Each structure stands twice: as C-alpha cells, then as structure tokens.
Amino acid sequence: MFFKTIGELVAYAEKERVTIGQVVLEKQGIQLEKSKEDIFRQMGAHYRVMKEASWQGINHPAKSLSGLVGHDGKKVMNRVTNGQSILGRFVGKVVARSLAVGEVNAAMGKIVAAPTAGSCGVLPACLLSVEEEFNVSEEKIVEGLLTAAGIGLIIAKNASISGAEGGCQAECGSAAAMAAAAMVEILGGTPSQAAHATAISLKNILGLVCDPVAGLVEVPCVKRNAMAAINALTAAEMALAGVESVIPVDEVISAMKEVGEALPASLKETAQGGLANTPTARKLEKELLK
C-alpha cells in the first residue's frame, strides 16, 4: 500500500532523510515485486522515449491526422536558437519542447503518457531542459520521474488524472504538479518544498476545463501543455526560494476533486462546451467528420 496523502509521504521521506523519489523507488519495488534496479531501468527507458519524442517533434515535425496542429514547437525553438526568445533560452526551450511532444502525440507518434497522452508534453519539456541547462545526470532526472510518479499516484487516488472525470486541471494540472515536484528535488530542494511546489502549481490551474475541439487531443491541448510547463517552472522556482503554499497540498488536491465534480459534463472531455462549442470549432468539427 502506497501513502494515502502527500503529507504522509513527505513526513516519511524527511524522517528517513531521503528524497520522495527514493521513497517511491523503495515502496513501489515492494508493490511491484521488482528490484530497485529493474524499476530504475524501466523508468530510464521511459525517459529515453520522452527524449526521442521531443527530438522528433522539433527536428521532424509532422501534422496531426486532422491537420489542426503540428510544427509549432519547431517555430518556437527557432526563435530560441536565434536568441530572440522573450522567455530566455531555458524557458523558451521548455515551451518549444512541450509543444513538440504534444504534436508528436497528435500525429500518432510514440510518447509516454505522463500522466495522460493529452498532457504528455509537460514532464519531458521540463526535465529534458533541466538536464541540459543545469548539467544534471540522467540518473538524477530518472529519480525525479519517480518523484513525479509518486505525486501523480496520490493525486490519481485522491482526485483524478482524467479529463473526462476532472477537466483539464486533472490532466495538465497534475502533469504540472508532478513536474514541479520533480524539478524541486532534482535541483536540491527538500521533500517539503516539493510538496509546496505541487500545491502551488495545482492551485494556479484549478478549474481549468477540458473542451477539446471535435473531441480530438489537439486544440487546445497542445498549447495548454506549454502553459502547464510554465506553471510548473513558476511553482518550482517559488518553492525552491522557500515560498510556501498557505493551503496544504492535500487540501488543494481535495479542492481539485471538488471542483472537478462541480464542473458540468459539457466541460469534461465531451466536446460539448467551452472552446469545443465555438462557431469555429463547430465548423471544423463538421469538416472533419465528412
């Protein structure tokens, strides 16, 4: 049995003087009846799929089946490499890569659901860019993925990671929370700081609806991955500086569940409300169904 709350997970990690990632490795090894080495190897393999997807999306961009998305990650990356990015090199790359991985997914490329396919760009964009910019070892990044997975596991149990159940806050929001916690631990923050980063990023995205145009994982999903990645960076930055969430993380997760339940069905992946119900979306939908 894994921890019921992030509070319990953090308390355990701080008592044992280890990272959340290391606790997740130990506890999941027992649940999965696998050695720590096996789990580390499998997570490492997932990280390499993430890297490949990012590389593919930037260097060999493709259009989705509907033609609605594609090539935007490369456009942003071009500005970054030309030194024009208003976000600066590091953050510019995070935006470019989150778009690129989302586009690879939309074009039927190979990705890692993290936690879902619709939100698959956030973790790769953040972690690849941190590895590159801060000269962190791949091993440390994979440990960060374990941190992210542990946080995601508790969010999935206590709220939801499905857009159909909880709206986009459950998908892109959870992805941002997971990425924020991972980055905090990778860059030397404490388990408690990782929990604050999780809380801050979830609070900032609370209530975001899931309203995909024509029901496809394309518009607005791909661009929301970029927004969620920036949200993760902002939350990690605050937490590493010692900024704390006034509302404890587990209460934020409960609030997210409550908000998700309160959202009408039309705003939970049914393509009936929000952007999916705009005149342009309806026109596109009609054309795509022909």
Partner 1 sequence: MGLNIFDIIGPVMIGPSSSHTAGAVRIGRIAGVILGEPVKKAKIFLHGSFAQTYKGHGTNLALVAGLLGYDTDNPKIKQALIEADNQGMEVEFIPANLGSGFHPNTAKLVLTGASGNTTTVTGASVGGGNIVITQINQFKVDISGDYHALIVSHEDKPGAIAKVTALLAEDGVNVAEMKVSREQKGDLAMMVIETDQEVSSEILAKIHHLSLTSSAIMVKPI
Helix (H, G, I), strand (E, B), or coil: what is residue 290? coil
Is 178 near partner 1 (CB under 8 A)?
A: yes
Question: What's the min distance (Å) between Cβ of 145 and partner 1?
Answer: 6
Length of the chain, in residues: 290
Given candidates 39, 159, 170, 252, which one binds partner 1 under the rule CB under 8 A?
Answer: 39
Question: What's the min distance (Å) between Cβ of 242 and partner 1?
Answer: 28
Whole-number Å distance between alpha carbons of 138 and 48: 10
Spell out a b/e string for 70-102, using b for 16 or more CB atoms within 10 Å of the CB, else e.
bebbbebbeebeeeebebeeebbbbbbbbbbbb
**Phi–psi pair at 268, nearest 5 degrees:** -125, 70
Whole-number Å distance between alpha carbons of 147 and 36: 14
Question: What's the min distance (Å) between Cβ of 97 and partner 1?
Answer: 16
The smaller minimum CB distance to partner 1, of residues 101 and 233, is found at 101
The smaller minimum CB distance to partner 1, of residues 112 and 197, is found at 112
Residues 183-222 that bind partner 1 (CB under 8 A): 214-218
* Cα–Cα distance list, 196 to 19, 43, 177, 234 (Å): 14, 24, 10, 12
Is 18 near partner 1 (CB under 8 A)?
A: no
Whole-number Å distance between alpha carbons of 248 and 238: 15
Q: Provide CB contacts within 8 A for 45, sequence distance 6+.
A: none
Stretch 87-106: interaction string toward partner 1, x if CB under 8 A: -----------------xxx
**Shortest CA distance to 20 belongs to which of 286, 239, 211, 287?**
239
Helix (H, G, I), strand (E, B), or coil: what is residue 65? coil
Residues 253-272 that bind partner 1 (CB under 8 A): 271
The smaller minimum CB distance to partner 1, of residues 194 and 216, is found at 216
Q: Provide CB contacts within 8 A for 188, sequence distance 6+.
A: 240
Given candidates 18, 26, 87, 109, which one binds partner 1 under the rule CB under 8 A?
Answer: 109
Is 113 near partner 1 (CB under 8 A)?
A: yes
**Shortest CA distance to 173 belongs to which of 182, 183, 163, 165?**
163
The smaller minimum CB distance to partner 1, of residues 35 and 78, is found at 35
Given candidates 125, 149, 180, 253, which one binds partner 1 under the rule CB under 8 A?
Answer: 149
Stretch 42-61: interaction string toward partner 1, x if CB under 8 A: xx-xx--x------------
Question: What's the min distance (Å) between Cβ of 287 and partner 1?
Answer: 11
Stretch 153-172: interaction string toward partner 1, x if CB under 8 A: x--xx---xx-x--------
Residues making contact with partner 1 (CB under 8 A): 24, 28, 31-32, 39, 42-43, 45-46, 49, 64-66, 104-118, 120, 123, 145-146, 148-150, 152-153, 156-157, 161-162, 164, 178, 214-218, 271, 288-289
